[in-house]
Structure 1
Amino acid sequence: MVMIRIRSRDGLERVTTEDPNITISNLKSIIESQLRVPVTNQTLSTNQSLLLAKTLDDLSRFTDMSDPNASISRLGIGHGSIIYLAYEGQRSVAGPNFNPSGSFGRKMTVEDLIAKQMRVSRQENPHCELVSFDRDAANAFQQYVSDALAFGVKRGGVMYGTVSEEGKVEVDFIYEPPQQGTEENLILLRDPDEEKLVEAIAMGLGMRSVGFIFTQTVSQDKKDYTMSNSEILQAAELHAQSELKEWVTAIVKLEVNEDGAADVHFEAFQISDVCVKLFKEEWFETEIPEDADPKLSRMKKDVVVGVKDTKEVDNDFFLVVVKISDHQGPLSSSFPIENRNIPVTMRALKNHLDRNRGQSFARRISDFHLLLLLARFLDLNADVPALAECVQSQSSVPEGYQILIESLASSS
């Protein structure tokens, strides 16, 4: 029995024959019978570049198996050989049943085997039509990283806003959780109690978490990758937790412009569907050696990239570019931001309220970071969403809330 492996766009399959000296014509007939690809649609070659051919002209260049009367043995094709198959049209991948485990284990088909292969390819289009950043929120984030951190250590935040039916994401505020940043890594120190307050505020504002934003350091700018393997892991984890298909990952970094000056640059991506699937199914190696190439993500077992079985995948395969826009959202971002080097005090609350005294009370407190400070003194399930709803609708704030807020401010 001679077994020949057939690699096509559908993965790796097998055909068998009793005769090791069959012709190319015989082989095509066997492929039609066993793999259900019509002879007239088949192009065969021992050259794996066949699978990259896009047009008929491209296919016509592969002539090593074009003679129907040539013997496969004369071409060096025998038991265990791999040949490559290109074909037009669609088919249902099927094959003979066999039991690889003898007396135990169920019978498996070629469909079962291919289902176990994970194919990694570029995702052409994002689920997110575009992402628009509130100018004040984006500026407050990048200004701190630029002025206080000088892009020397990494910083991150969770973006909140809305998603339209057309898939447009609008980011209206950025929550910065407790964290530790170095030149290469960002550790988010998740605080469940604080995150409950954030979610309650977002709910009252009619918003939800829509993405992850982080900075790359000046030292990273000299390296040959869009996102490092550790950044891919972190972004995929947050995307997977969100269960939002339009979830956006944004990068903020410093780039040198044509005049030699440094500009702050925003980029936006979606982590591809297959990357999120790989993360959820625990294909990624999560322990990254110090000498690992940062532009490659390592898998626990082989995946198929193009025509190659590999455990290392270029991170760019996992990124889908998202268009960027900006807007003026409903909130301000002038109040001191949580979890930074300088603690937020009640003095900041008093100064903020005094500075905006000519406005309605709802407008004076229309800042997520201010609401987060207030939420620590309010009932999570009743007061926090109710106060946020006043901000969202710009309606009159109940007198009891006003008295409490003014009292907190006066306690500084």
Structure 2
Amino acid sequence: MYEFQVPATVLLLLVVCLQAAAASPTSSAWGAAPSAPRALHLAERGTMRLRGGVMWVGGGKQFNRTVDPDAHPEAAEDTFAPLRERLDCERRIKALQRKQGNKMRTNEIISLEEDSKYMIRAQHLLRTKSLSVDLTAAQNFQKYVVGELSLQQQRVGIMYGRVDAEGNAYCDVIYEPPQNGDAECYHLLEDPDAALVDRVAGLLGMRRVGWVFTARGRKCILSGGDVKLACEMQEQAESAHGFDFAKAWVSAVITRNDTTGSVVFEAYQVSDLAQDMHKKGVLKAPAGANKGYARTTENVLVERKDAQKVDSDFFLNTVPIKTHTSPLFGGREGEFPVENRPGAAQNGFEVKHILKCHEEMPFSHALRDFHLLVFLAKNTLDPVHDLPSLCKAVVSGEEPSAGHRSIIETLSQQPA
């Protein structure tokens, strides 16, 4: 039998380790959470907050994953995580194809191709908390499409307003672009005044916040064509102003409930998944209007089954809707005719009518009509020199210059 003698230094080290383990509040040293002094030390150093409402504490290969109670509501759901994973699969496929050749289809490539398919799922994150529409603007649009047109000619309006820091959207005015709708669907035409309308809105402190359209009674909320157009409009806003600007884009719909006969005014927002599929050319509108589904150019996973037809409800989030009175445009005595409406003439006589209705008010208050200001910008005001100063006077309540007042009053004397 052999006897081994352990050096004294090793025995001393073993005793120290056992004492440290006994003092630890955890029962196991493997994968245990850091002790209180260690955790406090990490908290003093600060934590790294990542998208998804998660904060990582510690370092190295092992992380302590905990929910961050102070995370922004947008961080509660990382809607881009599946899109990043899909993009990573596509990159790995391309790397393997460069290495092995395009004709080689290994099990790894086949598996990655399955993982790279879009998985259709509902989005719980609501990027816009609510939509509030100015009562006058809502009534004007709804009275026209429901009262005069009886929803027999579908219309589209662009909502201008603002978005606050909490993500609540406010629509103060509704601009109606050139269009030629019928009983089945709206049909937008090219708008030569789009840039000028955006400029007038911007000088008044407003921006595009979404669009509103009408639809006949149907089984779906938004059709596949509506979802596609909403994605196109949001992509245009994102290309021009960035994601943070475009993420608040809202789609509002006015329709009639076939069961009760009541008019419904609702608001929705398309998901980040739908937006990504649109950008990649995967999402397309179905043939024909009022279809409650969208088509895809490639196989996607719907309830984990391959499909090229997706119910449009998968792409929608309901946005709470309410009304308010715009401090700039609300509560007026008279309204200037809305542009691009068949039979609605915009001329000097209508300008005179607006001035007459508000003759007891300051002149700048009489001009607080978005459609009137767009008409003046198109016909009498120089967009570079005259328009900014006049819009500034309208917003501030100051009297416009004598020259601008003379131009407008002269226009109001012209025959209809």
Common fold: TM-score over 0.5 = yes
Q: Could you tell me which residue of structure 2 aligns to residue 233 of structure 1?
A: 228
| Percentage of pairs with the same residue | 32
Give the conservation status (yes or no) of the 8 Å contact 2:185–2:215: no
Determine helix, strand or coil for the equivalent of 1:187.
coil
The structural deviation recorded for 1:357 is 0.3
* Contact residue 204 and residue 386 of structure 1 kept, 8 A: no
Which residue in the other structure is 1:328 paired with?
325
1:346-396 alpha-carbon deviations (Å, 9 max, x no partner) = 111111111110001111000100001100121223322322222222222
DSSP-derived class of the 1:178 partner: coil
- 1:18-42 deviations in whole A, cap 9, x for unaligned? xxxxxxxxxxxxxxxxxxxxxxxxx
The residue number in structure 2 matching 1:380 is: 383
Amino acid at match of 1:379: D
Residues 167 and 248 of structure 2 are in contact (CA less than 8 Å); yes or no, is this contact kept in structure 1? yes
Partners of 1:289 and 1:171 in 2: CA distance: 32
Amino acid at match of 2:303: G
Cα 1:129–1:101 change in 2 (3 A) is same
Q: Secondary structure at the match of 1:371?
A: helix
* Higher RCO structure (Cα 8 Å, ≥6 apart): 1
Q: Distance in 2 between matches of 1:99 and 1:374?
A: 61
- 1:38-83 Cα deviation digits (max 9, x unpaired): xxxxxxxxxxxxxxxxxxxxxxxxxxxxxxxxxxxxxxxxxxxxxx
Q: Alpha carbons of 1:380 and 1:110: their partners in 2 closer, same or farther (altered >3 Å)?
A: farther
Q: Distance in 2 between matches of 1:163 and 1:170?
A: 6
Q: How many residues align?
A: 311
Shift of 1:284: 2.2
AA of the residue aligned to 2:382: D
Change over 3 Å in CA distance of 1:370–1:111 after alignment to 2: farther
- Residue equivalent to 2:365: 363
What's the secondary structure of 2:187's corresponding residue? strand
Query: Is residue 247 of structure 1 aligned with residue 255 of structure 2?
Result: no
Ranges in structure 1 where 5+ consecutive residues have no aligned partner: 1-91
Q: Secondary structure at the match of 2:284?
A: coil
Residue equivalent to 1:183: 183
CA distance, structure 1, for counterparts of residue 359 and residue 111 of structure 2: 69
Q: What is the CA–CA distance in structure 2 between the aligned matches of 1:229 and 1:109, rounded to whole Å?
A: 32
Distance 1:242 1:403 in 2: 37
* One-letter identity of the residue aligned with 2:347: T
Larger Rg: 2
RMSD of aligned residue pairs (Cα, Å) = 2.7
Indicate if the aligned counterparts of 2:298 and 2:308 stay in contact, CA closer than 8 A. Answer: yes
Q: Displacement of 1:120 after TM fit?
A: 1.7
Tell me which residue corresponds to 2:26: none
The equivalent residue for 1:44 is: none
Match of 1:341 in 2: 342
Structure 2, unaligned stretches of length 5 or more? 1-84, 239-245
Does the CA contact (< 8 Å) of 2:257 and 2:264 recur in 1?
yes
Question: What is the rounded CA distance, in whole Å, between the counterparts of 1:293 and 1:349 in structure 2?
Answer: 39
Q: CA offsets per residue over residues 160-197 of structure 1, 9 Å max, x none?
A: 000001100000000100101112221111213x1122
Structure having the higher helix fraction is 2
Change (3 A) 1:282 1:400: same
1:170-319 matches, cutoff 5 A: 170-192=170-192, 194-217=193-216, 221=217, 223-243=218-238, 244-255=246-257, 262-286=261-285, 288-290=286-288, 294-319=291-316
Question: How far 1:198 moved relative to its partner?
Answer: 0.6
Check the 8 A contact 1:200/1:384 in 2, yes or no: no
* Residue identity opposite 1:236 in structure 2: C
Residue 151 of structure 1: how far off its partner (Å): 0.7
Q: Per-residue deviation at 1:114?
A: 5.8
Q: Is the 8 A contact 1:200 1:381 kept in 2?
A: no
Q: Which residue matches 1:42?
A: none
